[in-house]
Amino acid sequence: MTARAGTSHTSKRATTIPRVRQILAILAREYKSPKCALVHSSPLELIVATILSAQCTDARVNQVTPALFAKYRSAADYAEAPAGRLEEDIRSTGFFRNKARALRNLGAALVRDHHGQVPRTMEELTALPGVGRKTANLVLAEAFGVPGIVVDTHVRRITQRLGLTRRSDPDHIERDLMQVIPRVSWNRFSLRLIQHGRAVCKARNPRCEDCALLRVCPEGLSRV
């Protein structure tokens, strides 16, 4: 039984890899220089912006953060901020009470455990309040150049449509993708899929007829 299971997994991966190469080539052609949409100039600014982006558009976050980052320059500034004042500073991002609490707790943890600095490992990052693997992977990739796959709503939706995963849990999706996407491509793959999700492969009414990935997308082919 073990041998057959292993063979099945190997066979599935072998059949997936050529299509993955096609997907990566198409995405590279369509989105040559992918960038993180959240404007930041430090690891702390990035992790704060990522927390604010929950249930909020990156464009809205980028409207709020210039004044926020000018006012709160260190982890200690967030830790010591009066709750009501910080809530008002981020009100327009939505869920501002929960986010303000997360930012204050984050600042306190960074001061207490990391001398006010954003740590550089997955284990340390995910131990911080309000930081899951998605945020940790983004911070590691963007701030420290550590390869990672960021599974946000766009990446989850598109990889499911492409048949690269059948999972719904982001952590499981991340593991599935790590098996078939070359490590050197992890960061750019995520950023390109996020761009593609915003521009073409939308949650509702995806523009399959305009999609460069159509020929390698099982769900897209079933729609047209």
Q: Residue 210, Cα to own-chain centre: how many angstroms?
A: 25
The domain limits of the chain are: 15-35+148-223, 43-144
pLDDT per residue as tens digits for the range 60-100 = 999 999 999 999 999 999 999 999 999 999 999 999 999 99
CATH code, 43-144: 1.10.340.30
pLDDT for the residue 7: 47
Q: How far apart are CA 55 and CA 102, in angstroms?
A: 14
* Greatest extent of the chain over all pairs of C-alpha atoms, in Å: 61
Catalytic residue positions, numbered: 134, 152
pLDDT for 10 equals 53
Global confidence as pTM: 0.89
Is domain 15-35+148-223 in CATH 1.10.1670.10, yes or no? yes
Q: Which residue has the higher pLDDT, 56 or 6?
A: 56
